Structure formats: C-alpha cells, structure tokens
C-alpha cells in the first residue's frame, strides 16, 4: 500500500464588498497613499461593515464557496479546523458553529490560534489527521475579522489589516502529492511586541482597560518587521535545504501577506524570480489567518498537478514556519 499523503483538492474564498482604500484612510488618520504603499505594498483592504456579523460569517461564506465549486456533500466532511485570531466569542468554538451552519454535521470541529501563522499550522494539523488514515476529508478554514480588533485612530495598525476568509479541503493522496515537509517554529520572546493586551485571563476586561483602548491590536512595528524578515526568510531557506530543492524546482512561493518588503526579502533569500512570488496584499492587506488561502484561491488557475509550492508565514507570539507541498490537481 502506498504511503498516504495529505493533498489539497479544493479551495474557496470570500471577502466583504466594502473597500477601505488608502484614500479613505487619509481622511481618518494622519497618513497618505504614498507612505502606506511604499512601506507595506497595500492599496486597499476589505471590511465587514455589518455589526451583527463576525468571523463565522466570513468562514461560512468561504466554506460554501469551496463546497459549491468542488461539488462535495458537507456530510462527508470529517473535521473542520477553524484557523482564526478573531473568534466570534470566547469559550464557544467558532469552528463548531461554522461546521453546523455549512451542514457538516458529521464532522467534529475546533479553533486553532497562532496569530498570522494559524493557517500554516492548520495545514500541518490537517495533514496529520489525513495521514493517520482515520479521516478522509478535512476542511481547513482561515478567517479573520481584523476590523473588530483594530483601533482606527492608530495609524500604525489600521493601515495594515483587512477582513476575509479562505478555505481548503485536504484529502488522502497515493501519488506522493500534497504536503511533503514542514519547518515550524515559535519563540515566546515575541509576546510583548504584537498583542492585544486586555480581555484575556492576564488582564480581564474592566472599565479602565476599555477606556485605555487595551482591547485593540498593538505592535512594535520595527521589532516585528525585523523578526519577520529574518525568520520567514530563514524558514523558507531551511525547507529548501532539507529537501534538496533549488529555486528552479519551486513553481511558486505562497507567502503570508503582511508586508511587501517582508515578502520581497523572503523571495530574495530563495533567489526566486518575481513571477514565482504570489501576492494579493495590494487588494486585501493583511487578513491574518486568511492570507494564505486567499492567495491560493486567487492564483489557483496557475497551479499545475505536481507543482512544488512553498508556503511561509510569520505571526505574533512569535510563530512562524514554512511548508513544502506538491499541488494535486489541474483546475478544470
């Protein structure tokens, strides 16, 4: 019997209709289009304006898109993994609600949180379930309503983040395609540099924490940038070395869409030409857990069966890593 590998067999995505452009941000905070574009590569981001809709709404839409395109029965899904840094609420797992709403009532579901590395880590988790032989269809969703935790008076963060969701289906493969290797890392030194300070068990919600805006995301931009450039590039380089891959072997790099300069540095370390580096940061900004699947969805038409694809991400915590995957199908 051939070894079971875990292959991506379908993708789906959803972004809200409302576009928050750099020009609109200029009317909200002290910034401008040239400054934002030159430092981040972002021109616009999508925002879920409905106050009564959370991350689950985005996730459901992305999952429904995948189900419709792949023409699969939701009852056949064994597991729903929900990668998110912005769950609908504490305690009650967003993934469980999403699974029920999409009709995956035979699946078990839970949330996975590793900041911007959530989807990357979720790929590793989904693959392990498939490779165990006990599960045939694992739906991995990356979704975040980042606008719910952004302070739109803080120009250092409000220019970066957007809302969105993407989903992929992992299934067993016996041709040697799918996830080949992973290089995943973390370092708790990052705890103080990218965080939401209050609302957790360390600093529970009080009137004071609300008044001090300690429930919004904050970052030490220079420190985060330095760590991200070094570690995302290093992880990608390590995955190539471990698998005796050269830049010629790589069909595409699918990087976390946090900052164009970070992506460029990673691509430079891998010695990749621009056409192999996939980016949509200009249109969506940093959608955190949704960046990788949104890239897959936008560029799915380019992928050919057997293509070597390298994924890379970096997130708060700090968390980071790289995954080597062989694409399993040609889009019809």
Q: So which residues are the catalytic ones?
A: 116, 256, 286
Residues whose CB is less than 8 angstroms from the CB of residue 3 and which lie 6 or more positions away in sequence, other chains included: 174, 176
Contact 281, 218 (CB under 8 A): no
Terminal-residue alpha carbon distance, the chain: 29
SS3 230: helix
- Beta bridge partners, 46, equal 19
| Nearest CA among 1, 10, 90 for reference residue 54 | 90
3 state SS of 47: strand
287 vs 279: CA distance, rounded Å: 13
- Lookup result for tokens 């199908």: 329
Count other C-beta atoms under 10 Å from residue 301's C-beta.
8
Query: Could you identify the residue written with the tokens 């969805």?
Result: 297
Note whether 43 and 21 are within 8 A (CB).
Answer: yes
Dihedral angle of Cα 175, 179, 181, 187, to the nearest 10 degrees: -170
Q: Residues 84, 142: contact at Cβ < 8 Å? A: yes
Residues 6+ apart with CB under 8 A from 24: none
Residues counted in the chain: 332
What lies within 8 Å, CB to CB, of 54 at 6+ separation is 86, 88, 89, 94, 145, 148
């Amino acid at each position: 019997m051939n070894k079971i590998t875990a292959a991506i067999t379908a993708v789906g995505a959803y972004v809200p209709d409302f576009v928050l452009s750099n020009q609109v941000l200029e009317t909200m905070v002290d910034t401008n289009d040239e400054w934002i574009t030159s430092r981040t590569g972002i021109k616009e981001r999508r925002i879920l304006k409905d106050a009564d809709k959370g991350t689950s709404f985005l996730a459901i839409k992305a999952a429904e898109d995948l189900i419709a395109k792949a023409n699969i029965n939701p009852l056949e899904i064994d597991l729903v993994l929900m990668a998110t840094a912005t769950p609908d609420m504490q305690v009650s797992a967003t993934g469980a609600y999403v699974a029920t709403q999409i009709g995956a009532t035979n699946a078990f579901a839970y949330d996975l949180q590793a900041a911007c590395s959530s989807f990357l880590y979720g790929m590793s988790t989904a693959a392990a379930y498939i490779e165990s032989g006990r599960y045939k269809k694992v739906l991995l969703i990356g979704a975040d309503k980042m606008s719910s935790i952004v302070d739109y008076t803080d120009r250092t963060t409000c220019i970066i983040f957007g809302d969105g969701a993407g989903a992929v289906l992992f299934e067993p493969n016996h041709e040697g395609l799918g996830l080949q290797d992973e290089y995943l890392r973390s370092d708790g030194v990052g705890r103080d540099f990218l965080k939401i300070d209050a609302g957790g068990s360390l600093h529970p919600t009080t009137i004071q924490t609300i008044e001090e805006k300690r429930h919004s995301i904050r970052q030490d931009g220079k420190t985060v940038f330095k760590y991200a450039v070094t570690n995302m590039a290093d992880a990608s380089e390590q995955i190539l070395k471990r698998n005796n891959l050269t830049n010629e072997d790589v069909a595409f790099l699918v990087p976390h869409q946090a900052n164009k300069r970070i992506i460029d540095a990673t691509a430079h370390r891998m010695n990749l030409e621009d056409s192999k580096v996939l980016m949509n940061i200009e249109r969506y900004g940093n959608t955190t857990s949704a960046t990788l699947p949104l890239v897959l969805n936008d560029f799915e038409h380019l992928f050919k069966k057997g293509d070597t694809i390298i994924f890379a991400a970096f997130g708060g915590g700090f968390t980071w890593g790289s995954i080597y995957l062989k694409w399993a199908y040609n889009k019809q």
